[in-house]
Structure 1
Amino acid sequence: MLKLDGIATFVAVAESGSISEAARRLHLSKSVVSERLADLEQVLGAQLLHRTTRKLSLTEDGAAFLEKSARILREVDEAQSEMAQRRGSLVGPLRISAPVTFGRMHLAPALMPFLRAHPGIELTLELDDRRVDVASEGYDGVVRHGALADSRLVAWTLARSRRQLVAAPDYLARHGMPESIADLRRHRGIFYTNRGVADWQFQQGAELLAVRAAHALRVNNGDVMRDAAEAGLGIALLPSFIAGAAIRSGALAVVDVGLPAVEEFIYVAHPEGRRPSAKLRAMADALKVAFGDPPYWEV
């Protein structure tokens, strides 16, 4: 007889590509995960995975079973959520990915009251600055800042986000205050690696102007970018949710080149074609209220 926990284990292994990672997600030992997979294959009478010392891959039967298994799990979760809603509560697992700096500074504090109000929700929040594949890695949703790069995702806006050029007063005293886009090209920049080389984009009417400067530092974390700017290494284009406090304290000064940076947003996204759970909708609504409009972190 097929067991739901065996199906869930198979889906976790297939999505993560690793028994170890699936065990971490499911909070199980690797031996339990392996045992459940073996039981499932025995009940089905089919091999679902090719196992080697280096990696796991789906067999033809495994690929066919995965599609239906994932749908079964979603429908069970939706049924559970619907029943909970009928009783006026939200229950069950919710797995979210978010960037490290925003997650630490703003998302986590906003989630605490939401989780207190809905103690039946089992939230897993994974902070990671890389662009995760929401569908294949088993996330219910992803909180991100910036442009939506994946067309397979449906996004709900949580808050507006304003980015500003900033630098330490010491750096500006040594190198001068840039007053135009042309001036910027002669300065040293601190860049966010996950956005590529053309991250400095400014709005001039209907046009977008991309600016490249010599790079002093390229890094994949906003906290480090702010610290590097405060240390006088160069100019950084940072969202106000990261740089706001440093601007208010005087540790960083705003660099005005006459054009605003392209407007961006904080959003939560879920896979296209997959009905978002009531838990995800409720979380998004709570975050909108917590962040405000305009958001509380704007200078």
Structure 2
Amino acid sequence: MSAADRLKGVETFVAVAEAGSFTAAAERLHLTNSAVGKAIARLEARVGKQLFDRTTRRLDMTDAGDAFYRTCVRVLEELDSAERLLAADHLEPSGRLRVDMPATFGRLHGMPALLAFARQHPQVTPHVTFTDRFVDPVEDGIDLVVRIGGADAWPPALACRHLGNEELVFCAAPAYLERHGTPRSFDELLGHAAVLYGRADGSTGPWTVRDGARPPTRHHVEGRIVLGQAEAQVAAVEAGLGIAQLATWLVEQRIREGRLVAILPALATPGLPLHLVWQRSRQHAAKMQALVAHFAGTLHIGGDAPAPASG
């Protein structure tokens, strides 16, 4: 069997795995259902494994099929990368680029970085949304997602780059500390008014505290005021209503300007990770490579060194 024939079977298998049915894959590949079914049958016979569990209602990959899919995706990506590298040297980033960011982080940090990118690449047309839900880049058709928090493992169709972990600090307004004193320990801190984050179901976010080398512990406290938005918390703290535990990226400028004071620095605690997440199928486009490189150089948080892209 020629290499071309083997690759054709692999492309058909990947299309079925991603489309979830022979019919949808056939439409994508401009083939008949019969041709797709025969290609999968020949592939299963060649590898000696059943790749799909078939019923009248659904099509699922077997464990062997899932492992084979991951390998096939890497092979096809490497082939695609080799072809694109031959043409990439003279390509100027251009075209529409859909980006999604967390609302507050995006406004404070993402937008300045994106505007600088847009000035550098006038042929790129960014379409930017700001959402605090976890969007699915594939399902929602997003090119690049800036995500705070997320899974330990990403689906095979996605690539990611870790840009550090946020750090959580306790902070208060100078006027509040003048009236109530500065706590010198966590026990003293518990006696102060707390400005807490609240969810729609009525629950509140706990204070998370690191004690030496031990894992951080979570403490549920009573709130002087409970707010469901991070910038609203900052406003309440700045107004002198109490102490809050907030991400440094949210308050660092106010701390530098003296509008807020970081207290009990020994209790500063690692928070959620910051990732760039994008579709592997789009990662070799010049506009994507340029944006990932730009964001990786401008959107670090916390003290962690940026990691290379996964996969």
Question: TM-score if structure 2 supplies the norm length?
Answer: 0.58
SS of the equivalent of 1:232 reads coil
Return the alpha-carbon distance in structure 2 between the equivalents of residues 292 and 257 of structure 1. 20
Q: Which amino acid in 1 is paired with 2:143? A: D
SS of the equivalent of 2:188 reads helix
Return the alpha-carbon distance in structure 2 between the equivalents of residues 248 and 123 of structure 1. 32
Match in the other structure for 1:239: 247
Taking the TM superposition and a 5 Å limit, the aligned residue runs for 1:106-145 are 106-145=109-148
Extract unaligned runs of 5+ from structure 1: 1-62, 65-74
Structure 1 residue 224, shift from structure 2 partner: 1.7
Match in the other structure for 1:200: 207
Q: Which amino acid in 2 is paired with 1:224? A: A
Return the alpha-carbon distance in structure 2 between the equivalents of residues 216 and 137 of structure 1. 39
Match in the other structure for 2:150: 148
Return the alpha-carbon distance in structure 1 between the equivalents of residues 196 and 147 of structure 2. 18
Alignment root-mean-square deviation, CA: 3.7
SS of the equivalent of 1:126 reads strand
Q: Evaluate the alpha carbon distance shift between residue 197 and residue 186 of structure 1 in structure 2; reply closer, same or farther with a 3 A threshold.
A: same
Q: Which amino acid in 1 is paired with 2:290? A: A
Q: Evaluate the alpha carbon distance shift between residue 125 and residue 254 of structure 1 in structure 2; reply closer, same or farther with a 3 A threshold.
A: same
Contact residue 143 and residue 282 of structure 2 kept, 8 A: no
Match in the other structure for 1:100: 103
Contact residue 160 and residue 264 of structure 1 kept, 8 A: yes
Structure 1 residue 275, shift from structure 2 partner: 5.6
2:187 counterpart (182, 186, 191): 182
* Larger mean Cα displacement after TM superposition, 254-263 or 99-108: 254-263
Q: Which amino acid in 1 is paired with 2:220? A: R
Q: Which amino acid in 2 is paired with 1:119? A: P
Q: Which amino acid in 2 is paired with 1:284? A: V
Q: Which amino acid in 2 is paired with 1:248? A: R
Contact residue 184 and residue 211 of structure 1 kept, 8 A: no
SS of the equivalent of 1:88 reads coil
Contact residue 166 and residue 270 of structure 2 kept, 8 A: no
Extract unaligned runs of 5+ from structure 2: 1-57, 60-76, 304-311
Q: Evaluate the alpha carbon distance shift between residue 234 and residue 81 of structure 1 in structure 2; reply closer, same or farther with a 3 A threshold.
A: farther
Q: Percent identity?
A: 28
User: What is the CA deviation profile of residues 160-209 of structure 1, one whole-angstrom value per residue up to 9, with x for unaligned ones?
Assistant: 53331111122223333223333333333323446974442222313121
Contact residue 196 and residue 205 of structure 2 kept, 8 A: no
Structure 1 residue 277, shift from structure 2 partner: 4.8
* Count of residue correspondences: 221
Larger Rg, first or second structure (1 or 2): 2
SS of the equivalent of 1:132 reads coil
